[in-house]
Structure 1
Amino acid sequence: MPRVFIIPDQSPNAFATGRDPEHSAVAVTQGLLAMMNREELEGVLGHEISHIRNYDIRVSTIAVALVAVISFISGFASRFIWWFGPGDRRDNDREEGGNPITMILRIVAILFAIILGPLAATLVQLALSRNREYLADAGSVELTRNPQELISALQKIENSQPMKEADRSSASLYFENPFNRGQHASLFSTHPSTADRIKRLEQM
């Protein structure tokens, strides 16, 4: 049994946290309790409990740590390339204007190291977050034996007001994106679109 908390926010939402089932907690907003009936609330809580059962918080933490490590390595690599890359910087400085081809190669390498590496890692992290949401939806149906509960909850939440106090760094923990409700999912979304989630649930 996870610990249960109520968030004083009128936006309907919920989230789960904890590194494992023995150290877990589920929180729901006052808005969710006011908007949902018993069955819909059961579907949402089934989704959050599935996150705990699937160790999704631990997976997300590892993903964040990997992004940080990749960013650090990319920063180190960019500095290494700048000072010790093709050609010798000190020799180039002796030449008037330096070697333009070498400078272009350095700049391109730095762009790859600084921008593309961390960006690719972040996109992988967000894709993982979206896939874990689908898995938690399936887990909720497994627990409740009724996909319509979750479908009805998602439909109610889709166009509701965003949360006032949510932190963007923890957006992936919530049942539904606490920001930008009703927007289409993109590569930079922490959650799949509501329409896609409902479509998968209808096929169960």
Structure 2
Amino acid sequence: MAMSGNLYVVAAPSGAGKTTLVRMLLASEAGVNLSISHTTRSPRPGESDGREYHFVAVDAFRAMISRGEFLEWAEVHGNFYGTSKSRIAEQLAAGSDVLLEIDWQGAQQVRQQFPEAIGIFILPPSMEELTRRLTGRGTDAPEVVERRLAAAQAEMRHVGEFDYVIINDQLDQALDDLRAVVRAARLAVGKQRARHAGLFAKLL
């Protein structure tokens, strides 16, 4: 069955504003759904299964890995996180757009199994601004900020692996750019044929 939905993979270094942009996109653009990952970590207060994450036991997660059920997965701070391949496929086949908010390593895994995924990388306008944003949080010690900045520079070297780059200088403009990518991708000939098969059959 043709998949009429698009899969968007959004990545960025810490402090670039990815989470804020994604949240604003989901609130303003109908038909885009945030992928809900599986995780082995325990739910935090206020979280519920199937909303923030699908919470599963470690053994169950490992079994899913062995069956090849993940589009991408990783171990982070002792917990596993992964994206279900079948859940993504079901949503795309139904015509829904799906957005994955992951790092560049997860994006590489996705492209290996789903090369038609649309990669979007969010950049800060400068290292000075990135430093200001990370320092302005007021939650990290200076040495932690330095490590985050070094990690951010390493992550940004992978920008060439993505299809689109959005520089998040002015938030409203960056959101407009992100929405433009989403809307343009929906107008690709293959997607329009899949979504409007009856119309194409009549007209052509």
| Length-normalised TM-score, structure 2 | 0.24
Structure with more helix by fraction = 1
Q: Which has the higher contact order (CA 8 A, sep 6+)?
A: 2
Structure with more strand by fraction = 2
Q: Which has the larger radius of gyration?
A: 1
| Length-normalised TM-score, structure 1 | 0.24
